[in-house]
Amino acid sequence: MTTTSNPVTIANGTAGAAGGSVINVAQLVSQLVQATQAPQQNIINKRTTEVTTQISAVGQLKSALSTFQSALSALDTQSSFNAQIARAATRPLSPRLSPQAPRSARIA
């Protein structure tokens, strides 16, 4: 069964037959539907972008935590923890405070 879709036209009186104004209802309905859907689609697109960004951030956090967990695995026993040595990047650490430190904080 073959179905053909002819646009429905509305003419005012005999103007349609005489070449007057004709309204293409199918096109009008299509344009109205598009005008109604556009703002809703924009909201959906924006929310999709936000959720995708959040999922990406969670993935990055998971990766960073995995790296941190791997770094901590070297400290999983007391003996391996005690074997670690703290070092300063530029100079040795000293327990002395500067003379400008408050009297209560100075080491005797």
Provide the pLDDT for residue 46: 96
The residue extents of the domains of the chain are 37-68
The C-alpha angle 57, 62, 67, rounded to 5 degrees, equals 125
Average pLDDT, the chain: 77
Residue 2 has pLDDT above 90, yes or no: no
HSE-up (13 A, CA, CB side) for residue 6: 3
Residue 3 has pLDDT above 90, yes or no: no
The residue ranking higher by pLDDT, 73 or 96, is 73
Instruction: Give pLDDT tens digits for 8-51.
Output: 555 555 545 555 678 889 999 999 999 999 999 999 999 999 99
